[in-house]
Amino acid sequence: MKYALLAYNPSAADQRDSIPPEIGEALARPNVTSWMRLQPAESATTLSRREGTTLLTDGPFVDSKEYLAGLIVVEAANLDEALDFAAELEGLARSGSTIEVRPILEDG
Amino acid sequence: MASGPLEEVFREEWGRVLATLVGYLGDIELAEEAAQEAFAAAAERWPRDGQPANPVGWLITTARNRAIDRIRRDRAFAERAEQLARELAERPEEAMDETTLFPDERLELIFTCCHPALGLDAQVALTLRALGGLSTEEIARAFLVPFETMSKRLSRAKHKVRDAVIPFAVPSDERLPDRLDAVLAVVYLIFNQGWGDGRVDLAGESIRLGRALAQLMPDEPEPQALLALMLLNDSRRAARFVNGELVLLDEQDRSLWNQAQIDEGREWLEQAIARDGNGPYVIQAAIADLHLEDPRDWGEIAVLYGTLAELTRSPVVEMNRAVALAEIEGPEAALELIDQLPLDDYRYFHSTRADFLRRLGRNEEARAAYGRALALTQAEPERRFLEARLLELRPRSDADWDEFWTSTLDDLEDRPS
């Protein structure tokens, strides 16, 4: 079973900081399928389809105090395992960070 | 569902049958449909052919076969059917028939239903549906929400259990204390939902769940204490309402108390204490026990509420300590304590405060407080009780009016200008 861990950071945080070594160690484990960090939300461009035309907007889709900062895909036996890993990362992250855990829809 | 022996089997065994099926199928919705079909088949066949020697085994086996048939018919489930067939082939020793003695997996199911990844509303509804076998309509009625709302809540919860793979297991030792707290909170919430207006079905249901938990976790004191607490409080049920009107403990007819329930409650409490239980449910059950004595030992009750307040940091517990304090030191000291508590949205806060004010003769303030309690209360018997108290405090004679005006003028003078 695969889960996506969507990591949100407070807007004030600087996304370009280097990854703390403990988090780097956790991300290197075999249960982590892949992960990525995103450039700050201000670099986003949003497309939306409205009445047959596509609209471009400067900025993220949802404007909020927190923004999507990264995505981690993990392999876990069940939700508890995925939540444990997310809680471990959350414990290492800066305060104010939030992780949303979502099961990944797999074919079949 | 018809009443009679089958109804009894349904009440007693629904949770067990469903738990085994969820463990087997990994899908509450599918398990539920299959279990319903099996119970319907039983309703048709048992009166004709007689009840099988192992009713639970019969129901599980029948339901499992129906579920496999359904999966095979449904192409979307083709892969799952193959997987199930493969699993069954890999574990031939687990092949089932009607004579199989299935292990009781209700504990696994209740930990699934009360998983913290589900909202509290969903945990409560799912527990009542899956373990208690209550219908969506019954649960909706009990929680005063529209059928559609409850139906959506339940299916959303069932889908999350399946799609997010919420485990069907008793949590590991390090996780158990927190997760058990969540389970006990759900059971106690169900009990309290039935307490306010004397709804028999929910109190009975929560005691049934509590008894199952206490029996399935014989080494844990808190489930035993919760069961004791519910039994001791529920023992006064017949005396709490006379002709639909709420009767306070001191005015209750003690001969209406259920002595068998009191005895059972005390036995469970003793067992919990013998296992060194000193958690919040042990203390609450001990308090409930003290409340049954005549006269009540308010000093001891206040001490226990103090311990409980330290443990839980709950303002509601502090409020209850104030009630005990009112009996020892008088309503003035109790009012002083209660007025510091942040419980403005809690109906019992205002009714308790109103009672202290009434006893102090501050009738006008008492009326205002009863009014606040009334505005926050939905249960009809409690509403009628509060309305009766309000009526008692209504100024009637000239002397009452004099008192009314004096206290109102005092009030105005007290106010900073």
Contact B314, B343 (CB under 8 A): no
CA distance B131 to chain A (A): 22
Q: Give the H/E segment covering residue A37.
A: strand A32-37
Output the six-digit token pair for B271.
């067992």
Instruction: Check residue B41 and give its pLDDT.
Output: 94
Q: What tens digit of pLDDT does each residue of B44-54 get?
A: 999 999 988 88
Instruction: Give residue for tokens 């992780």.
Output: A99
Contacts of A77 (CB under 8 A, 6+ apart): A1, B165, B167
Instruction: Check residue B92 and give its pLDDT.
Output: 47
Q: Is B78 on the interface with A (CB under 8 A)?
A: no
CA distance B77 to chain A (A): 9
> Which residues does chain B have within 8 Å of residue A80's beta carbon, measured at their own beta carbons?
166-167, 171, 175
Output the six-digit token pair for A83.
């939540």
Q: What tens digit of pLDDT does each residue of A56-91 get?
A: 999 999 888 888 999 999 999 999 999 999 999 999
The helix-helix angle for B200-216 and B106-113 (nearest 10°) equals: 120
In whole angstroms, give the CA distance from residue B399 to residue B404: 9
Q: Which of A79, A64, A97, A88 is nearest to A4 (CA)?
A: A79
Instruction: Give residue for tokens 């208690």.
Output: B132
In whole angstroms, give the CA distance from residue B290 to residue B303: 12
Q: Amino acid letter at A40?
A: P
Nearest 5 degrees, angle CA B286-CA B278-CA B319?
55
Mean pLDDT, chain B, integer: 88
Instruction: Check residue A64 and give its pLDDT.
Output: 84
Output the six-digit token pair for B340.
């510091």
Contact B255, B202 (CB under 8 A): no
Q: Is A1 on the interface with B (CB under 8 A)?
A: yes
Instruction: Check residue B80 and give its pLDDT.
Output: 67
Q: Is B26 helix (H, G, I), strand (E, B) or coil?
A: coil
Look up the CATH number of the domain holding residue A86.
3.30.70.1060
Contact B257, B235 (CB under 8 A): yes
Closest-approach residue (CA) in chain A for B77 = A108
Q: Residue A29: exposed, middle, or buried by beta-carbon count in 10 A (0-12, 13-18, 19+)?
A: exposed
Instruction: Say which residue, B206 or B86, is predicted with more confidence.
Output: B206
Torsion angle in degrees (nearest 10) through CA of B340, B341, B344, B349:
-110
Q: Could you say which DSSP state residue A18 is in?
A: P
The ipTM of this complex is: 0.88
Residue A108 lies in a domain: no
Radius of gyration of chain A (CA): 16
Closest-approach residue (CA) in chain A for B170 = A80
Tally of domains in chain A: 1
Instruction: Give residue for tokens 């009540």.
Output: B296
HSE, side-chain direction, 13 A CA sphere, residue B65: 11
Residues B134-164: b if buried by 16+ CB within 10 A, e if exposed: bebebbbebbeeeeeebbebbeebbebbbeb
Domain of A18, in residue numbers: 2-103
Q: Which of B138, B140, B169 is nearest to B14 (CA)?
A: B138
CB contact under 8 A, A80 and B175: yes
Output the six-digit token pair for B98.
């009607």
The full length of chain B comes to 417
Q: Is B64 on the interface with A (CB under 8 A)?
A: no
Q: Where are the strands (E) in B128-221, listed by range?
A: none
Mean pLDDT, chain A, integer: 90
Sequence spans of domains, chain B: 1-103, 105-216, 218-273
Look at residue B187 and tell me whether its pLDDT is greater than 80.
Answer: yes
CA distance B167 to chain A (A): 6
Stated pTM of the model: 0.83
In whole angstroms, give the CA distance from residue B131 to residue B261: 22
Nearest to B166 among A79, A102, A108 (CB): A79
Look at residue B382 and tell me whether its pLDDT is greater than 70.
Answer: yes
Contact B145, B125 (CB under 8 A): no
Output the six-digit token pair for A23.
């988090």
Q: Is A4 on the interface with B (CB under 8 A)?
A: no
When mean pLDDT is compared across A24-28, B217-221, B243-247, B361-365, the lowest value belongs to: B243-247
Instruction: Check residue B1 and give its pLDDT.
Output: 43
Q: Residue B416: exposed, middle, or buried by beta-carbon count in 10 A (0-12, 13-18, 19+)?
A: exposed
Instruction: Check residue B339 and give its pLDDT.
Output: 95
Q: Is B159 on the interface with A (CB under 8 A)?
A: no
In whole angstroms, give the CA distance from residue B314 to residue B299: 20
> Which residues does chain A have within 8 Å of residue B115's beta carbon, measured at their own beta carbons?
79
Residues B395-414: b if buried by 16+ CB within 10 A, e if exposed: eeeeeeeeebeebeeeeeee
Q: What tens digit of pLDDT does each residue of A8-51 get?
A: 988 766 656 788 899 999 999 999 999 999 988 889 999 999 99
Q: Which of B149, B128, B153 is nearest to B138 (CA)?
A: B128
Q: Residue B98 CA to chain centroid, in angstroms?
A: 34
Mean pLDDT, to the nearest integer, of B353-357?
Answer: 96
Instruction: Check residue B410 and give its pLDDT.
Output: 64
